[in-house]
Amino acid sequence: MNWTETIQRWRQMTAETRERIRWERIPRQVALSMAFEREPVELSWLQTLHHQVAPPATSKQAAGS
């Protein structure tokens, strides 16, 4: 699968699915960012913390904010 097919597949997903995937990727993104800053953090620890927090109802800010 090339990058254009990946983008097309992403766009065909429902908004809820895209939000769920984004939410699930947060621990790995944080771990990679910390490693880049030469402050590695255990991914399993981040995942444990992340699973204790409920995902946001929506990532969009209210109008006028």
> Tell me, what's the pLDDT at 63?
55
pLDDT in tens, 10-22: 999 999 999 999 9
Of 27, 55, 54, 56, nearest in space to 42 by CA: 27
Half-sphere exposure of 52 (CA within 13 A, CB side): 6
pLDDT in tens, 19-63: 999 999 999 999 999 999 999 999 999 999 998 888 877 656 555
> Tell me, what's the pLDDT at 42?
93
pTM flag (> 0.85):
no
Higher pLDDT, 1 or 3: 3
